[in-house]
Every structure is written in C-alpha cells, then in structure tokens.
Amino acid sequence: MPDTDSIPTAPGGGLVPLPLSIDGPGRGTVRLGPDTALAAAPGTEDTAHWLRATLGAAFGLPLPPGPGEAADTVALALDPALPAEGYRLAADPRWGVRITGGGPAGVFWGAQTLRQLLGPHAFRRAPLAPGQAAVLPPQTIEDGPRFAWRGMLLDVARHFLPKDGVLRCLDLLAAHKLNVLHLHLTDDQGWRIEIKRHPKLTGTGAWRERTKTGHRASPLWDERPHGGYYTQDDIREIVAYAARRHITVVPEIDIPGHSQAAIAAYPELGNTDVIDTTALKVWDTWGVNPNVLAPTDTTLRFYEQVLDEVLALFPSPFVHLGGDECPKDQWKASAAAQARIAELSLAGEDELQSWFVRHFDRWLADRGRRLIGWDEILEGGLAEGAAVSSWRGYAGGVAAAKSGHDVVMCPEQQVYLDHRQHASPDEPVPIGFVRTLEDVYRFEPVPPELTADQAAHILGTQANAWTEVMDSQQRLDYQVFPRLAAFAEVAWSRLPASADRDYQDFTRRMTVHYARLDALGVDYRPPGGPHPWQKRPGVLGRPIDGAPPNV
C-alpha cells in the first residue's frame, strides 16, 4: 500500500486495535511542534523516553520537559481509578495532549494510540521534510484491554532470528498493544540460549549441518550450516527492552520431547539403553522426533541447572516447559524408564510424562514461578498450579478451565500464523489450513460452553509463529502480517460475537494501518496476494483442504 501524507480524519484515525470509545474528532487540529513540551509524572518516565525516541525522531521534535498544566504540552499522568492497562487520551487545541493511565502500562498504550493518530509518518525514524507537521484532530479516547495475556509465540529454534530481529519484533508487538512474547528457545533443530554451566548446549546444540527446505517431504535441502544463539547479555537486553515496552518475555525450554539438540550436546540425557545417543546430531528436518529425554535423575538435575540460569535472566512469573509431542516409544523400550514407572507405581508412559512435568511444577513453585505447558501436559494428570497453552484446539483449554487451571488459548486451527493465508498456488510454502485475515478477525478465544467462573480462567490468547518454513525476516513478516493486526484487535478490543463483528470497518481501518506498516518496513502480505518476490515456487508445502475442525 502506498504511504500517505494525509492525516486521517475518520473517528479514531483508523486505529487498530479498536478503542472502547471515541468522542470526536472535533473541529480544528492539535499541533505538536518545536515548542511542545513533554511533562512526565512519576511512574511515566519510560513512556516519556519512548515518545522522545519515536515521535521526536519522526518529526524532529525535541519535546523538552515542561509543566503538566501548561498549553502546548503532551502530559503523562497516572490515575489509579482507571484499570492498570486502561488509559484516557484527550487532545484539545487549548492545551495539547493529555494521556492518563491506570498504571505505567496504560500510559504506554495511550502513547501508542497517540502515535497512530499522528499518521503514518509517526512510524518513520526521521522526518521526511523539514518542519513536517505532527497534527491530530481534537478528541477523547477511553480504552483498556479485554485480556491480560495478549501474546505472540516466536519460534527462534527452527530458524534463528538474530537479536536485532527480536527487538524489532518487540516494537511491532508494542505497536499493536500486545504484551507477551513467548520465546521458543529450544527444540530438536537448535538450542538458542547460553547456559554457562553447560556450554555444549550452544557449542554443539546451536548449529545444524544443513536444513530441509520446505515441508519435511520436500526433496530440497539448504546445505549451508544454520545456527546462532543469544548470549546471556543478549537475553538481558531483550528482556529489558521488552520491559520498557510493558511486554513480558516468557521463555520456553521444551521438555521432555523436542530435545534432540540437547541430547546431541549431552548424550547422557537421552535413552542410552535404547539407542546410541552419541550418534545423534542436531536435527536437520521437521516433524515429531522420537528422540526424547530419559526420565532419570541425571536429566532432572541437568534441567534444574539450566532453569536456575533461565530464572536469573527472565523475571516472567511463567516459565513454559513445552510438554508437547513427546513420543513414548523409547520409554516403552527402555528398561530404565520401565523401572522408574514401577518404582513410582505409575500407570504407564503418560503418567511418567506427568511425573516429569509435576517435578518441575513443584521446582518452579518453590522458586515463586509458575509452569505453563502445551495441552499434552493434561495427559496422565495435570500438575497442580500449572497453566495450559491450548494448541491442539479448544478442548484442552476447556478441560483445563473446567478443572480450575488457567489457560492461554492458541488453537492451531485458528491462530497458527504459519498456516497459509489463501488457497492460491502463489502462497509461499503453503502449510496447513487457509486462515485469512477475516478468519483471524472472527476468532473467539473464550469457548461458549464455559461458565462465567470457568471463563475467568482464560488468561488471554496468543498467536503462534512456528518457523520451520520461515527462514528469514521477510518470510516471518509475510506470515505474521497483516493477520497479527486482526489478532491484536481480538485480544485487546471488546468485540461482538464472532459472526456480528464489523469486518468491513476493520478493513477500512486497515487501509490506514497498511501505511503504518509500510513506514515500519514490514514486508506484509498485500490484500491482493503476494508480490513476485514473496512467492516461493517449487518449494513443497503441506496444504490442508477444507475448513479447520472446531475441536
């Protein structure tokens, strides 16, 4: 979509996500210029810093400190009568702009709204012309989120995204009022976080010799070694950068499945009485891997040591431990695993996995943290206090909520952004069901069969970006956007029931939002289909025909 010099005059200026209420716009304009001051009450300093770095750069504004009651001022303040993430934005030519939040996060989300109201140029890093005006229509906006957990999973294990790409992702989440980055740090194809006590996790586990191109059935290979990892200082920087944007980074260390990279680095972690684990390398293809962790005390102690370092880096109250797609064949064949089942009087391999998860649930709880895992952790009995990421559909989340456990809804049939966006053969590496922009916009995170008390256990929702076939930032952009904008509105706004949502209004607002994405350099999928350079002819995918099941 082309950029535009015009300032939107429609109510809300084409805001995405849609606010709770908009009073205006009124007559005239509010103009921010070289004399406009920025007044930051205690508790709003991070937002003031962000405004100077973004709006100051985009329009060449110094935004010096000034008194909050003066004219021509952007004033930031707190009002505990508002919800913690709620805000009120009032723009008036008589004084300028006032953003009041229930807490520091609310002020920040109000500042994001101000940026949108100032037009696409507010998303650039330098002014396009000297003296370019920063103007918006007079109006008052009252707003606040529907869900506390508004997240996106970023898989950096399958294809590594360098640190600057993660920081860019955090900026894009913040621009859409999303507040959780679920960072999938380990898998069969790579280990992406430095653990000082176990250096071979990155020395060996962060690199694979080659990579399958496209779906696992594809005959194509990228013969270049692929890898990379974040040092502990990189992680500290990512977490601090996120915190200034009121985003929580939730780390995921996947156990007991999806662990071949760790076993390749430390063969004693695998089922050594079943296979020769010393022959394993970091996996170079995709799918469900049979090589899983051994349920031994050695493995437990190893991952406790890993998590000791993870907890020191991530202040998130939740730690994601995966628990998904763990084939039990090696445990069935392992004398050591069968002996552990007998020792613990377990009913079988499912309960053995439950024992494994429960161990770390207690371990995390003793350190003031909470375990969250994929819905397979329900099998064999859910660990007390654990929360569930419901990915295989709604059913796992419904069962967990009815049992009193907290849930993040992220069903693959609805909000897996690696799934294709159109049935056209031009879609690059088509995976899964067709999930259009409208499909995502009509996604409803709360299943209707839950009572009000049960629905209160739905912490929120999350869109997942698995990167098996996303081997660059461009590919990631294409799969994630513009659908993440629709998802953000589902997570933030109090929309009507799915069938009653005004998708036409959303698409009208998106015509403005595309220009913002252009200014940010996002290589999104255009509404009319992929650009020629976005296609990947000849790379095999795995499209699934028909509508996805509602399970």
Closest Cα to residue 6, out of 118, 111, 94? 118
- Cα–Cα dist 449/127, whole Å: 51
DSSP state, residue 384: T
**Catalytic machinery residues:** 187, 258, 325
Stretch (H or E) spanning 479: helix 473-480
Return the number of other C-beta atoms located less than 10 Å from residue 24's C-beta: 16
- Cα–Cα dist 299/303, whole Å: 6
Residue 62 burial class via C-beta count within 10 angstroms: exposed 0-12, middle 13-18, buried 19 and up: exposed
Amino acid at 277: T
Phi-psi region of 60 (alpha: psi -120 to 50; beta: other; left: phi over 0): left
Return the number of other C-beta atoms located less than 10 Å from residue 395's C-beta: 15
Going through 415-495 in order, the beta strands assigned E by DSSP cover 431-432, 458-465
How much helix, strand and coil, in percent to the nearest 5, is found in the chain?
35, 20, 45
> Do 114 and 135 meet the contact criterion of CB atoms below 8 Å apart?
no
Strand pairing report for 134-136 and 30-32: antiparallel
Amino acid at 431: I
- Cα–Cα dist 502/249, whole Å: 32
Residue whose entry in the numeric block shows the structure tokens 């000082």: 196
Residue whose entry in the numeric block shows the structure tokens 């015009």: 6
> Do 455 and 401 meet the contact criterion of CB atoms below 8 Å apart?
yes
DSSP state, residue 404: T
CA separation, residue 265 to residues 9, 124, 254, 278, 286 (Å): 58, 44, 15, 9, 19
Spatial neighbors of 441 by CB under 8 A, at least 6 apart, are 486, 489, 490, 501, 503, 506
> Do 480 and 417 meet the contact criterion of CB atoms below 8 Å apart?
yes
Strand pairing report for 96-101 and 87-92: antiparallel
Residues pairing with 540 in the sheet: none
CA atoms within 13 A on the CB side of 367: 21
DSSP state, residue 367: T
Name the token pair of 256. Answer: 């007991």
- Let me know the angle formed at the C-alpha of 303 by 302 and 307, rounded to the nearest 5 degrees: 125
